[in-house]
Amino acid sequence: MEKVNIDWKNLGFSYLKTDFRYVSRYKDGKWDDGALVEDNRLYIEECATALHYGQQSFEGLKAYTTKEGKVQLFRPDQNAKRMNNSADRLLMPQVPVEKFIDACVQVVKANMNWVPPYGTGATLYLRPMLIGVGENIGVKPAPEYIFAIFCMPVGAYFKGGMTPVNFITSEFDRAAPHGTGAAKVGGNYAGSLYPHQLAVNSGFADCIYLDPATHTKIEEVGAANFFGITKDNKFVTPFSPSILPSITKYSLMHVAKEYLGMEVEERDVLIDNLDEFAEAGACGTAAVISPIGGISHNGKMHVFHSETEVGPVTKKLYETLTGIQFGEVEAPEGWIVVCE
């Protein structure tokens, strides 16, 4: 299939209307079959709970073109399971994992001419979402729901190669104890816009959120998960019930242990004990890894490996995981779904 005429190597992360998206509706206790549509507008009731009470969740995943020309999804079952965990938290109906994966494959195949070619570093980003709709004005679960997926090509996150960036701790909380921090819901992101802007205004890439109860432990780095490489070569990442369980993070934990032979620990990471780390990074779908040069806390900057160069372990983790995603490194069983 002939590709659309796009400068693939200079794409950013911005919305582009592609040809097809998938929409399915839940009504009277069951999902319909869903269908691909061309219209990129959703028509919902003005009283939809998604608009008034934030009853909605979303996901993000990518499709990759391999050297052999195959197009593949990376661990879509994990996105499906995480969306269902979010749905449970907000009293929304689950989307069956098989339906979720099938919808992703349908969207990729219908927009194959928008999938970036191998070697450009670009990918096809998919945005599944689940929103409460139907006629309702009370603070209660919606009577109907929409599950939809749209996609767009996005550029390589690091166009000039990975470069470390600096972060600053925030006095604001990302999520409350026993709140919705572990769910991927829009309200978590809306509340992060102001702290993010304060960090950027101060010359940092983003802010670091500490645990809301004591403000002594690292939880998340902006909209990403934190990891550190200790001086004795352990992969360490924070554990907390209010952290969003990053699919990228858990994939990196597997890569660190099974591919690089490292010890892996998911535990408390004290903000006053950063000296234990030789390297640090933030991880998520968009960048895979954003190396952390330094963290500013209470007016003091702690620098890890370097503010200008990526640490050797961080670089190896990035190369291995992206190699799996692009089909250059053999993937663990079940991680890859080929869109055939």
Average pLDDT, integer, range 300-315: 97
Tell me the per-residue pLDDT of 116-172, one tens digit each, with 9 for 90 and over: 999 999 999 999 999 999 999 999 999 999 999 999 999 988 777 789 999 999 999
In a domain, 230, yes or no: yes
| Residue 134 and residue 171 share a domain | no
Q: What is the pLDDT of residue 340?
A: 86
The answer, yes or no, to whether residue 293 has pLDDT greater than 90, is yes
| Residue 169 and residue 87 share a domain | no
Q: Which of the four pLDDT bands, split at 50, 70 and 90, describes residue 1?
A: confident
Tokens of 274: 């950063």
Q: What is the pLDDT of residue 114?
A: 98
In a domain, 331, yes or no: no
Count Cβ atoms below 10 Å from residue 190 Cβ, excluding itself.
Answer: 10
For residue 220, give its domain range: 165-325
Q: Which of the four pLDDT bands, split at 50, 70 and 90, describes residue 29?
A: very high
| Residue 258 and residue 116 share a domain | no
| Residue 275 and residue 304 share a domain | yes
| Residue 175 and residue 148 share a domain | no
| Residue 189 and residue 145 share a domain | no
| Residue 122 and residue 13 share a domain | yes
Q: Final residue of a domain: which of 128, 154, 180? A: 154
CATH number where 179 lies: 3.20.10.10
In a domain, 71, yes or no: yes
Average pLDDT, integer, range 309-328: 97
| Residue 67 and residue 42 share a domain | yes
Residue 322 to residue 328: CA distance in whole angstroms:
8
Q: Final residue of a domain: which of 154, 180, 198? A: 154
In a domain, 263, yes or no: yes
Which are the contacts of 138, defined by CB distance < 8 A and separation ≥ 6? none
Total number of domains in the chain: 2
Query: By the 8 A CB rule, do 39 and 22 touch?
Result: no
Active site residues: 184
Tokens of 69: 């020309």
In a domain, 330, yes or no: no
The answer, yes or no, to whether residue 203 has pLDDT greater than 90, is yes
| Residue 139 and residue 40 share a domain | yes
Tell me the per-residue pLDDT of 212-231, one tens digit each, with 9 for 90 and over: 999 999 999 999 999 999 99
| Residue 183 and residue 313 share a domain | yes
CATH number where 133 lies: 3.30.470.10
Query: By the 8 A CB rule, do 322 and 156 touch?
Result: no
In a domain, 82, yes or no: yes
| Residue 186 and residue 266 share a domain | yes
In a domain, 202, yes or no: yes
User: Distance from first CA to last CA of the chain, Å, rounded?
Assistant: 13
| Residue 214 and residue 137 share a domain | no
Q: What is the pLDDT of residue 156?
A: 85
Q: What is the CA radius of gyration of the chain?
A: 20
Q: Final residue of a domain: which of 130, 154, 178? A: 154
Mean pLDDT estimate for the chain: 97
Residue 263 to residue 326: CA distance in whole angstroms:
26
